[in-house]
Structure 1
């Protein structure tokens, strides 16, 4: 049997880390758990990573790259109207709520909730990727605002962060209730809110 290439074993470990950390949390994740999930030895693990935190930092990047590719391939990403792209993004997030909880919840949100005070490097890495994702959504929001509601006073950057907050909160509720239904309902409410912002724009505020 052909020997597995080093980069293939590293990807297997990263994929395993995505599942185990999202299922158990960072503190409860052991290197042995990740190796067992990947079907690899601890020798293979330490060939690629110096520690659990080193693995988690690489997993943050791995998850971010996978997410970027997934959203860029979404049909709504190619819509000509930026509002269609925004609403299609929410629809796509709803469609992604399939399978077991570790398969659709966010690694970045899971990690940062647990490690924000104890592992600053992980917090910073998660914040970097979550902020970059929000910034890309904000670009579509800004274009949609210029086209459809130029007099509205809300900020595209602030609205993009609100979308991220609803998503992360929806994942927490899905974990609490052990199913995706509540998350899907939250995102459908988010979609209705976005539609209202663009169909009933807030008038320009006048100085007192």
Structure 2
């Protein structure tokens, strides 16, 4: 839906607080009245946009090449490489809608926080099977869980997005992702 895509683009570029309904409507090619025909409020739109974000990014990640390696650890590392590769261009082109929403609204709007949480945690869940298989194959006695590593991965990526926003570009964020990859490689090597 054009309204949701416009909302996602605006929040990624300016943040939730600076996103205005009239600008979203104009970018989507609808009137402000048309906007309110679909959504009762800016918050309702933001929640629906989080769902749209999850669907859109879900398709991207399901078809990404990191699923190709046979070894599950190689798939996990290829996921990290893929995340690094897509950190290009302006920050609003690669940062996370859900992460931005959570950063701004976690204390003021529980429905927005919950929508952001669902998006981030659902994406983390897509990594759990590969991490669990890699753990079983490479370090079955390690005292951490696949879920905790999947969530840690997302925490590092969201932090990298903040660094990118603060720095005005992707270079230092990509360095953070490089550290994440080294950490995962060491985690599997040191817990054998």
Q: Which TM-score band (shorter chain)?
A: over 0.9
| TM-score scaled by length of structure 2 | 0.95
Q: Is the 2:89–2:169 Cα contact (8 Å) retained in structure 1?
A: no
1:158 equivalent in alignment to 2:148: yes
Deviation at 1:145, TM superposition (A): 0.3
Equivalenced residue count is: 192
Q: Secondary structure at the match of 2:55?
A: helix
- Distance in 2 (CA, whole Å) between partners of 1:93 and 1:121 is 28
Structure 2: which 5+ residue stretches go unaligned? none
2:15 to 25, 33, 44: 25
Aligned-partner Cα distance in 2 for 1:130–1:109: 7
Partner of 2:53: 63
Q: 1:47-58, aligned counterparts within 5 Å?
A: 47-58=37-48
In the TM superposition, residue 170 of structure 1 has moved relative to its aligned partner by 0.3
Quick check: 183-192 or 46-55, which moved more?
46-55
Q: Aligned with 2:129: secondary structure?
A: helix
In structure 2, distance between residues paired with 1:33 and 1:197: 46
TM-score (norm 1): 0.88
| Structure 1: tracts of 5 or more residues without a match | 1-10, 203-208
Distance (whole Å) between structure 2 residues aligned to residue 159 and residue 152 of structure 1: 12
> CA separation in 2, counterparts of 1:33 and 1:172?
24
Give runs of aligned pairs for residues 95-110 of structure 1, distance below 5 A. Answer: 95-110=85-100
Cα contact 1:174–1:182 (8 A) shared by 2: yes
Structure 1 Cα separation of the partners of residues 21 and 122 of structure 2: 29
Counterparts of 1:198 and 1:103 in 2: how far apart (Å)?
A: 32
Greater CA drift, 84-93 or 146-155 = 146-155
Equivalent in the alignment of 2:162 = 172
- The 5 A counterparts of 1:4-153 are 11-153=1-143
- Per-residue CA deviations over 1:41-65 (Å, capped at 9, x if unaligned) read 2122122111111110110000001
Following TM superposition, where does structure 1 have runs of at least 4 consecutive aligned residues deviating by more than 6 angstroms? none
Q: In the TM superposition, what whole-angstrom CA distance separates every residue of 1:33-83 from its partner, at most 9, and x where no partner exists?
A: 112222322122122111111110110000001111111101112322111
CA drift of 1:91 comes to 0.5
RMSD: 1.2
1:71–1:77 contact (8 Å) kept in structure 2: no
